[in-house]
Amino acid sequence: MPLLIDGENLSLEDVKSVACKGIEVRLLDYARQRIRESRKMVEEYVNRGEIVYGITTGFGKFSDVVISRDEGRYLQKNLIMSHAAGVGAPLDEEIVRAIMLLRVNALAKGYSGVREEILDTLLEMTNKRVHPVIPEKGSVGASGDLAPLAHMVLVMLGEGEAYYKGTRMSGKQAMATAGIKPITLEAKEGVALINGTQVMTAIGTFALLAGENLVQTADIAAAMTMEGLEGILAAFDEKIQRVRPHPGQIRCAENVRLLLEQSEILEKANHGRVQDAYTLRCIPQVHGAARDALAYVRSVLEREINSATDNPLIFEETGEVISGGNFHGQPIAIAMDVLGIALSVLGNIAERRIERLLNPALSGLPAFLTEKGGLNSGFMVSQYTAAALVSENKVLSHPASVDSIPTSANQEDHVSMGTIAARKALEISANLQNILAIELLCAAQGIDYRHPSKPGIGTGIAHRIIRQQVPHLTEDRILYRDISKVAGLIKDEVMVTEIKKIKRGVAFNGDN
């Protein structure tokens, strides 16, 4: 069933479905009517020869240079060619699909003054899997994602490069092979296509959705570590959370209580401790803060994917063309930095739990979770890997949004660096996935040592799923394969999906 868009009701999950599953996209008729009305205004300004930024003038510092009607098409094409100055590795095809969808959705609001053909071409490229080669670097995130979006538009013109059904070729060849006619840009259309936050927002959507899966996985890993270390469940008591009622904290504690329901390991624990170290006792507070941060990020992205973000904007109902700054990426930039920090914190506390599992002085388990220490190193170096990833995430968590370098001869004298922030957040999420994979491996090994006592309802499900892929470590083997298998389980949401099926008590809460 196709996804019908109108510029108003797109969800983050819709973006993922189109980007990852190839769902067909169509534009609703009433959105087409708005687009036609907006375009009519642009053509009226051009016919009258009025001076309007982005329609009959140059761009940026050249906004005071008037462009004649005859030169208009050259202006639009020159804008795209000159702005296609990105560098670096190409963005993943899934991200490019998301970018094209978000650009269509923004134009569908009817404030951009483009022809229907522009949206139809982008939709056809999306539906027929023509994916422009968009370099990942080059956007400062203020006049929108100018450079990367220009690379997208090049292919619409039959220029640049694209992947068609997985093969890289010229944009001209990709469009011809897919049976899509290249476009010729008219007045306003070039700036409408590249003025926007769609690149940072697309990357940010992937980073957030990955993060929401990871914060759920972190609850599972932490609960399993609680069993491996015979933790004290009292710290998760509902009464404690109620008197400091942060939503994320409450939900994390609920999740852990459910995951550990009917845990014989914790019921039979006889360690003599009164309370645990912070990495166990403060799981609700730390994981909960990350959950609340992700909820904020989601709210920002949900607004942004249904926003008009180019300049100038056409208000047909009042007959106005107004220059503003909706292209500025600061809302996304700050949100992405928050996301990166929140995910880094989850990695920090997970790595410390790994250390406790491996350290016999803290765990009561065999050193490095191996029965034949000395001859075998067990999980020793997996903690090195986790530590390296945590350290890298700390570096990546330095905020990009506080930086600004003026561009366009100081016309654009404050920029957001939002696309950098989004790329960093996505990299942090990939690192966190591997950190949690290592914790899950170590925690599963710890639970094995508590046999014959059984784990809880939820942790038992997770332990079973892991053991279906990775056997108990009795003697040293190549660990990266084990880490990769569990990381795949995390990415595919296998454990989260199965545990959400629990019907006892409060269902495992994956929402933020």
Write out the two tokens for 407.
């561009």
Amino acid residing at 400: A
Report d(CA 188, CA 173) in Å as an integer: 27
Report d(CA 50, CA 54) in Å as an integer: 11
The one catalytic residue in 30, 45, 53, 278 is: 53
Report d(CA 214, CA 232) in Å as an integer: 24
Contact 337, 393 (CB under 8 A): no
Helix (H) or strand (E) holding 313: strand 313-315
Nearest 5°: CA angle at 106, between 117 and 63? 85
Q: Which residues contact 297 (CB under 8 A, 6 or more apart)?
A: 204, 208, 211, 335, 336, 338, 339, 342
What one-character DSSP code corresponds to residue 5? E
Please list the alpha-helical segments (H only) found in 276-411.
Answer: 278-281, 283-304, 330-358, 360-363, 380-396
Contact 96, 199 (CB under 8 A): no
The region, left, alpha or beta by phi > 0 then psi within -120 to 50, assigned to residue 277 is beta
Contact 475, 369 (CB under 8 A): no
What is the largest distance, in Å, between two alpha-carbon atoms of the chain? 86
Q: Which residue has the tokens 């019908």?
A: 4
Burial class (CB in 10 A: 0-12, 13-18, 19+), 405: exposed
Pairing between strand 313-315 and 320-322?
A: antiparallel
Helix (H) or strand (E) holding 89: strand 87-90
Q: How many CA atoms lie within 13 A of 25 on its CB side?
A: 33
Let me know if 53 is a catalytic residue.
Answer: yes
Contact 107, 163 (CB under 8 A): no
Residues taking part in catalysis: 53
